[in-house]
Amino acid sequence: MIPRSPARARIKIKGTVQGVGFRPYVFRLARALGLRGFVRNDGGGVTIEIEGGNIEFFKEKLVFGMPAGARIDEFHMRSVPPGPETGFRIVSSASEENCTRIGPDVATCPECLADLFDPQSRFYLYPFTTCASCGPRFTITGALPFDRRRTAMDSFEMCDACAGEYADPDNRRFHAQTLACAVCGPRLSVGTPEIAKTISDGGIVALKGIGGFHLICDAHRSETIARLRQQKIREAKPFAVMVANANALSCIAFPTEQETRLVAHPAAPIVLMRSKPGLAPEIAPGLARIGVFLAYAPVHHLLFYCLAAVAKNKEAVRALVVTSANLPGEPLIHENDLARHCLADIADLIVTHDRPIVTPVDDSVMAIVGGAPAFLRRARGFVPEPIDLGDEGPSVIAFGAHKKTTIAVTRGREAFISQHIGDLDGPEARRRHRETARHLLGLLDIKPEAAACDLHPDFPSTRHAEESRLPLLRVQHHAAHIAAVAAEYRLEGPLPGVVLDGYGYGDDGGAWGGELMLVSGVGWRRIGHLAPLPLPGGDRAAREIWRMGLAVAAISGRLDDAILRRLAGDISLARAVVRLSLEPGTMQTTSLGRLFDAAAAILGLRLEQTEEAQAAMELEDLTSAPSVLPDGYRLDGGTLDFLPLLAHLLDARPGVAEGADLFHGTVAAGLAEWITRNGRSLGVKSIALAGGCMANRILVEELCRRLSADGWTPLLSRQAPANDGGLSLGQALLARRAVISGILPAGR
């Protein structure tokens, strides 16, 4: 017998159901089915009361036809007494315990894009056109539930036309909290035709967008991009390139099918893809791939429209360099006054608007790695979407490490990773780190019971964690990387992992970076590591990478004047570095990142680098057919030694491309054998692959292929960055486990 639907039901939904057009959708569905009741936002998500028909049918239609940006995590329904309504309505938000969340910012939808260029639309050429399905969300929200009065739109009172659409159930802007037009909404300080003319004439524009200011110029003008690099003090780090739409991708790049799908995602991330000749080489010096993204805000679409208009008899600008506006070592600029003060010497034109940015957010960066999308930077369009941890647990906060820093907080079964904050070198970055922690906790109404941080005692993030006065778990850097993978895959048992990166503070105080470890419960154990190399000069060796080449030459016994001149030029300086390399007290490193640097120096690719992983990225781009050097590595218990490979590169002096092939293939083969030999006794066949080196698609694909053939299941980060941007997630998982197990006392 089919159970009868209740006369009236109360439905409580948790998930991403605010700021995505969910209430208007419920309203239209209920009205179409002739039902009575109401829908409202509340602290827990959305509450619906419904009566007057087949409630089960309503429930089915509700779940399977909801807006694209919505996500239901919990759905509870129970019978309640009949209500007084004669129709269905949207009612004011209720104040309850805040268990909901806000959706991320969404790129302009096709309907709003059509309005933007429709002369008959009242949104014609209006650079802040949005609807219930698109536009800013996280970046303008100060508190939840998501209502206009709690956002940066609060000061913009709707005109009669906007108010009419807001109240019209048949309009897609029904209850759109960001609704505004040229009569009542935000305004740019400078019109888009003037912006386009400045760019077309070879100028640089600082433009306030959704999450902060961008610096923008013509992607074909070498002299302008060189000036931008000089003014921004950014010698070689690649710039991103924006095009108007997916059809324009083929003008500047060779995107794969996966890359084309990813770049068109509603989050509009920057996606790495192989570039075509024609763009200024200064965009990504020495690299074959560039970061490309599509216009995602109305002002971007208008800018390309105006660039075509000002071109007249010359070719229109079809691609723009679009890069975050920040000073060296400092976070993204998002305030008008600060932009005018800090960017005046960089930009020829500074364009502001009068809608505040509550939460500054950089653009997300992604790549296809190991056959699927992977984050290099998780920010706009994805934050603050949570990661499901699989079960309920205490609330904790994790403060990340030092580079590519993020903050993570947990609530119930969810983990929320903050937007990318960046490196904590400068005072403004450290201030942003504290502000992000406060804002995330306040927005999600979380009162953490414990905290987690990196093991390094001197990181600013460690000091910030200590200032929280919460019970504190100090997590070894590489253990946190493995725990982040465990969190994403909801793994409870012991998990081995190989973590390959540039630097992490070891349990012994050493510089680790090529680690085979086992994470179990709250603890971690080092199973093996790469053979240590001297790090002559400490941190200087990561910049002056010829030092790593000399260190290899010194310990392999391959020292002659020719090698000294080739790697250092100055014989006396080279001999001093060699002596330092051989001294017993010289710092050692197990880092795979430094191994890449040594190979790049030995092969003559470059002797210095100004950006992190610059040499490694160039080696990756030069690799086309990885090959294996017989006896190119040695295994001694848990130690993997690639000195034979590096010594061969010193002796044979192959071409750079041949050497890059040999390096990648041999490293992947050695890593796979190392993992298999040392992992057989663990009784686990899944292996986490983490650390910044896992952004190297050649290394990942070779390593995964070999591990799979040996019966392993490689686990790569997909919802958080494999680099240090995902560390806070792993820290949070281990702190959560520590509270549950009683190892860490809960406190407030």
658 - beta bridge partners?
none
> Which pLDDT score, from 0 to 100, does residue 565 have?
87
The token pair that represents 446 in the structure block: 């979380």
pLDDT, mean of residues 586-610:
96
- Which band of pLDDT confidence, cut at 50, 70 and 90, is reported for residue 43? low
Structure confidence by residue, pLDDT tens digits, 418-450: 999 999 999 999 999 999 999 999 999 999 999
Res. 4: pLDDT tops 60: no
Domain ranges of the chain: 8-90, 192-351, 386-475+718-748, 530-715
Res. 24: pLDDT tops 90: no
Query: pTM, whole model, 2 decimals?
Result: 0.91
89 - beta bridge partners?
38
E-assigned strand segments in 184-269: 205-208, 213-218, 240-243, 253-254
Q: 728 and 475 in contact (C-beta within 8 Å)?
A: no
For tokens 């007084």, the residue is 84
- CA 137-24-414 angle, to 5 degrees, is 50
Q: Do domains 8-90 and 386-475+718-748 have the same CATH topology?
A: no
DSSP result, 687-739: EEEESGGGG-HHHHHHHHHHHHHTT-EEEE-SSS-SSGGGHHHHHHHHHHHHH
> Which pLDDT score, from 0 to 100, does residue 513 have?
97
> Which pLDDT score, from 0 to 100, does residue 1 have?
36
Q: How many CB atoms lie within 10 A of CB 637?
A: 9
pLDDT, mean of residues 739-744:
93
Q: How many angstroms separate the most distant Cα atoms in the chain? A: 94
Q: Which one, of 483, 533, 484, 524, lies nearest residue 506 by Cα?
A: 524
Q: Which one, of 295, 352, 354, 246, lies nearest residue 112 by Cα?
A: 295
Q: What is the pairing mode between strands 240-243 and 289-294?
A: parallel
With a CB cutoff of 8 Å and minimum separation 6, the contacts of 260 are 246, 249
Q: Which one, of 476, 479, 406, lies nearest residue 437 by Cα?
A: 406
End-to-end CA distance of the chain: 51
Higher pLDDT, 576 or 420: 420
- CA 380-382-387 angle, to 5 degrees, is 145
- CA 711-713-715 angle, to 5 degrees, is 155
How many residues can be counted in the chain?
748
Structure confidence by residue, pLDDT tens digits, 499-515: 999 999 999 999 999 99
Per residue, the 3-state secondary structure of 120-187, as one string, reads: CCCCCCCCCCCECCEECCHHHECCCCCCHHHECCCCCCCCHHHHHHHCCCCCCCCCCCCCCCCCCCCC
Structure confidence by residue, pLDDT tens digits, 532-563: 999 999 899 999 999 999 999 999 988 888 88
Q: Does domain 192-351 have CATH number 3.40.390.10?
A: no
CATH number of 8-90: 3.30.70.100
Structure confidence by residue, pLDDT tens digits, 649-673: 999 999 999 999 999 999 999 999 9
* Side-chain-side CA neighbours of residue 69 (13 Å): 32
With a CB cutoff of 8 Å and minimum separation 6, the contacts of 445 are 43, 97, 98, 99, 144
> Which pLDDT score, from 0 to 100, does residue 239 have?
97
Q: 236 and 286 in contact (C-beta within 8 Å)?
A: yes
Q: Which one, of 141, 135, 132, 136, lies nearest residue 176 by Cα?
A: 132
Res. 529: pLDDT tops 70: yes
Name the CATH superfamily, with its identifier, for domain 530-715.
ATPase, nucleotide binding domain (3.30.420.40)
Q: 398 and 722 in contact (C-beta within 8 Å)?
A: no
CA distance 207 to 216: 7
b/e 106-137 (16+ beta carbons within 10 angstroms → b): bbbbeebbebbeeeeeebebbbbbbbbbbbbb
CA distance 412 to 716: 24
- CA 104-108-112 angle, to 5 degrees, is 135
pLDDT, mean of residues 119-136:
96
> Which pLDDT score, from 0 to 100, does residue 3 have?
45
Higher pLDDT, 3 or 188: 188
Structure confidence by residue, pLDDT tens digits, 266-320: 999 999 999 999 999 999 999 999 999 999 999 999 999 999 998 876 788 899 9
Q: Which one, of 645, 641, 653, lies nearest residue 629 by Cα?
A: 645
Structure confidence by residue, pLDDT tens digits, 169-189: 889 898 899 999 999 999 999
> Which pLDDT score, from 0 to 100, does residue 2 have?
41
Report which residue type is found at 598: A
Structure confidence by residue, pLDDT tens digits, 596-605: 999 999 999 9
Structure confidence by residue, pLDDT tens digits, 230-271: 999 888 999 999 999 999 999 999 999 999 999 999 999 999
If you average pLDDT over every residue of the chain, what do you get?
A: 93
Q: 552 and 566 in contact (C-beta within 8 Å)?
A: no
CA distance 677 to 131: 57
> Which pLDDT score, from 0 to 100, does residue 52 have?
86
> Which pLDDT score, from 0 to 100, does residue 747 have?
63
Q: 706 and 514 in contact (C-beta within 8 Å)?
A: no
CA distance 549 to 523: 36
Q: What percent of the chain has pLDDT over 90?
A: 78
CATH class of the domain at 386-475+718-748: alpha beta
> Which pLDDT score, from 0 to 100, does residue 61 have?
85
> Which pLDDT score, from 0 to 100, does residue 54 have?
78
Q: Given CA atoms 481, 484, 488, 492 in this order, what sign does their dihedral have?
A: positive
Helix or strand or coil: residue 302?
Answer: helix
Phi and psi at residue 48, in whole multiples of 5°? -125, 135
Per residue, the 3-state secondary structure of 448-501, as one string, reads: CCEEEEECCCCCHHHHHHHHCCCCEEEECHHHHHHHHHHHHCCCCCCEEEEEEE
With a CB cutoff of 8 Å and minimum separation 6, the contacts of 591 are 501, 502, 503, 511, 512, 513, 514, 530, 533
> Which pLDDT score, from 0 to 100, does residue 16 have?
81
For 260, the enclosing helix (H) or strand (E) is helix 257-263
pLDDT, mean of residues 640-651:
97
